[in-house]
Amino acid sequence: MLCIVTFVLNGCKRKQGAQERLCTRIDIDRIIDLLPTTNIEAKSLADSAIQTMNDMITSLDSIPAQQKDFSNTIRAYDSAKFHFLTHKNILSAVSVLASDTALQTAAHQQLHALNQYETDVLDRNATIYQALKDYYDYGKDTQRKTVAGKHFLQQMLQRFEHKGVLLPVAQRADIVKLEQQINQLAGQYAGNIVYDTRSLVMPQDDLYGLPSSFMQTLQQNEQGNYVLPLDYETFFMVMENCLVQRTRQEYFVAFGQRAYPQNVTVLQQLLKKRHQLATYFNYPDFASYQLSNQMVKTPKRAEHFLWGLVHQLQKYDQQDFEEVIKNLPPSVTLTKSGQLNPWDEALVKSWYRKKHFHVDDYQLSDYFPLEHTLTELFRLFHNFFHIEFIKQDGHEQQLWGSDVICYKVRSLTKQVVLGYLFLDLYKHSYKRITEPCHMMLIPTIKDDCSIPCAGASVVVANFNTPVDDKPTLLELHDVKTLFHELGHALHALFGSACFADFAGTQVVKDFVEVPSLMLEYWLDDPSVIRFISSHYQTNQHLSHDKIEQIVSAQKFGLAGRMLKQLFLSLVALQISRSGHDTHIHKMIEKLYKAIFKHIAYDPHHYLEYNFTHMANYAASYYTYVWSRVIAADLFQHIQHHGGIHSNDIGKEYVHDILNPGGFVPPYSMIKKFLNRPFNNKAFLQQFETK
């Protein structure tokens, strides 16, 4: 496999040294060269990544403390880490996206080897830690004294210490074993959810109300009955549209029992191991350990933040409830206590939106054909971010899937290529990924002349492929998904930090969603909806009246949707504060009843065993709400200073929020952009106007 080639760019006055990094000329052909096409090439990527890190560690160990300098220590480490991260990221993408399933398996195995190597060798590596500390203590060159140099060293030393590098050797070995077990259990927990292939089989009469176009996507058995998979797309379609109460209830219960009982023992062991890990660092529970290096710092502060919003939003949820029960769908009745059954809530709110606002999300999709929507999104981003997207044709057969498309993203402000954006947007049976996401392939970094070096990112979705003359049509939530995931991609491409460990989206977990959620708020702007809408047959935009109805419909029920996020956040925190799964179901029931005043609790719904985010986010699930509050504040500031069509405020946003990547503390970035700390006023204001 070809490695990335470096060369000196014109205009760089710095003299090149042995470990000098000058900007990489990355184009799509060189990215393609890095993509493995065989099992041998996948193994070569992993072997090269490990060998590069081993060589760097050996080199650091051979240099006396007093002779360590920026070039032979910091740059040597960072260059090796860039190589390692690039190879790891590529294997990660191929392992879930490649159309060749054998290659997927091979990439997955090699990715596992790199993850294992990180846990076993890198996370608590005493040689790397000591080399960084030696340079911090004794380095005499100018880079150590710069703000960037000091910050890098302080951050990296803290990271190693957080992982336990200063603990005795025997304890470090115990931690390595524990983390291996935790990673295995977390993977098993998530896998039991993803690969739960159970489905429901229903006759057509039981699916009354579902759109015919959706029915056409379902498989049928020999008797002509329809097979409903237990996935999110089908879940929302059934809950919001099916007019047969029995079907909704049966599907709701089945969906809430995915991975049950498979994950009962797995969760019990996962919680136990995480608690043991926390005790090595003298934390009372895993949540306290996990949040100690995040913005929020402590579970107590996170819970205070969450409960404060719960109490604020319940009054708005009360108002919405009083509205929807005035005109219930025919198959819905309230419980004896005057509540909605949980399998009726989505239908009731969907019914209300259609009747009151005359908004049918499925019909509205005619106005959002994928290709046109993407084109208009790129035009919006061109204006605000001052960038252009240049489609790279002729490479489709060389990528991991035949319908993957690629754009070169170029900054018009700096006249440089930021990187390459790959879009893998269509549903395929071979994809091992069920939810939309962003994956960074190549970190965007600065070279030693502060020139951004081009990176690469992938946005993944599972939209239906075009059928005959009908293009792929997006519902509004799909459009929001595009905004969100492209927000991650732009963060990755703009975030050209000085060091690979802090590039792009490699920020603290409770800030990583902020740039994406800020873009989601753009859909609250009527001008944006009109700008991107175009009927796939008539090319007409949505009318102003219809757009006002859409905006009002989107706001309706928002308090209830946010209460669900708050509920899940509190569940994740409390589960992560427990060292076992005893009484978790009772704890969830108690939380549910405290938060949802108008929706009945269903004891047959086993959230704790199919809450995918417990595998990776764990106690950090609160970050979605936390980040949404920050994003609302940033968006309101943008609206008050020229709006999303203003390149001036766009430049400030890019400079203050995106460019630093993870290298500047989020509180500092936010305060610089807003000229004050963030607050929840903008977030709460969106609930006050219907």
- CA 199 to each of CA 195, 264, 611: distance values in angstroms, whole numbers, following the listed order: 12, 20, 18
CA distance 249 to 342: 8
Question: What stretches of 353-446 show up as alpha helix (H) in DSSP?
Answer: 361-364, 370-385
Residues 6 or more apart from 144 whose CB is under 8 A from it? Answer: 70, 135, 136, 150, 153
From the number of C-beta atoms within 10 Å of its C-beta (0-12, 13-18, 19+), residue 66 rates as exposed
The predicted pLDDT at position 594 comes to 98
The pair of structure tokens assigned to 486 is 């492209």
Give the closest residue to 175 by CA, choosing from 197, 160, 190: 160
CA distance 339 to 343: 12
Residue 457 CB coordination number (10 Å): 30
Give the closest residue to 626 by CA, choosing from 257, 211, 299: 299
The pair of structure tokens assigned to 477 is 């939530």
To which H or E segment does residue 325 belong? none
* Full-model pTM: 0.92
Mean pLDDT, each 10-residue run in order, the chain (690 residues): 30 42 70 95 98 98 96 94 96 96 97 95 97 93 81 94 95 95 95 93 97 92 96 94 98 98 96 96 97 97 98 97 95 97 97 91 94 97 97 88 94 92 94 90 82 90 90 95 97 93 95 97 95 97 95 93 98 91 90 98 97 94 98 98 96 97 94 98 87
Q: Which residues pair with 414 in a beta bridge?
A: none
From the number of C-beta atoms within 10 Å of its C-beta (0-12, 13-18, 19+), residue 568 rates as buried
Give the closest residue to 645 by CA, choosing from 378, 374, 384, 377: 384
Crossing angle of helices 299-324/623-640, nearest 10°?
70
The predicted pLDDT at position 23 comes to 55
Give all domains of the chain, ordered by start, each with its CATH number.
35-123+125-166 (1.20.1050.40), 197-255 (no CATH)
The pair of structure tokens assigned to 102 is 């054998």
CA distance 372 to 535: 10
The predicted pLDDT at position 196 comes to 92
The predicted pLDDT at position 449 comes to 61
CA distance 512 to 525: 23
Residue 140's Cα: distance from chain center in Å? 41
The predicted pLDDT at position 641 comes to 97
Residue 535's Cα: distance from chain center in Å? 30
Residue type, 480: K
